[in-house]
């Protein structure tokens, strides 16, 4: 079962698109959109990433950080980021530790689930299943959390 609203978000450290080490604790005090997706450069995942790209300036203006997580490696993330000009970090969860910690593991992939984490590290919203529409996902989040 996916982690519930109100619980503490599991801490993690991972490499991003550019090989930088990123930890959830780096964003203390900010709202973090932590979105898990199955695979780079697939139709649904691409549309979801483009949704976040389109809303990037609005998120940035509200001091909200977007982090995408999949089981793909850094090189795959780099190609995906460059191909679509993604302005946010993608985290490589090659060993699956983050997907396991957030209980979104689905074999060798992550399920499509998004967590909104407040500045204190608490999960304040979860999007999955029918309430996650890849094309409008970023805007749907803005409507509910702002």
* Catalytic hit among 9, 24, 45, 49: 45
CA distance 88 to 94: 19
**Residue 45 a catalytic site member:** yes
Range 123-132 contact pairs with CB under 8 angstroms and sequence separation of 24 or more: 123/3, 123/4, 123/5, 123/6, 123/7, 123/8, 123/9, 124/5, 124/6, 125/5, 126/2, 126/3, 126/4, 126/5, 128/2
Written as six digits, the tokens of 98 are: 């983050």
Could you give the residue numbers annotated as active site? Answer: 45
């Amino acid at each position: 079962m996916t982690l519930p609203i109100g619980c503490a978000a599991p801490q993690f450290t991972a490499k991003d698109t550019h090989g930088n080490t990123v930890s959830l604790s780096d964003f203390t005090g900010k709202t973090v959109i932590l979105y898990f997706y199955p695979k780079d450069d697939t139709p649904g995942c691409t549309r979801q990433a483009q949704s976040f790209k389109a809303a990037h300036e609005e998120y940035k203006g509200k001091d909200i950080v977007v982090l995408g997580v999949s089981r793909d490696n850094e090189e795959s993330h780099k190609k995906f980021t460059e191909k679509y000009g993604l302005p946010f970090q993608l985290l490589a969860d090659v060993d699956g530790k983050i997907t396991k910690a957030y209980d979104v593991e689905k074999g060798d992939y992550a399920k499509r689930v998004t967590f909104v984490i407040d500045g204190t590290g608490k999960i304040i919203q979860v999007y999955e299943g029918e309430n996650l529409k890849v094309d409008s996902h970023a805007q749907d989040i803005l409507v509910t959390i702002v």
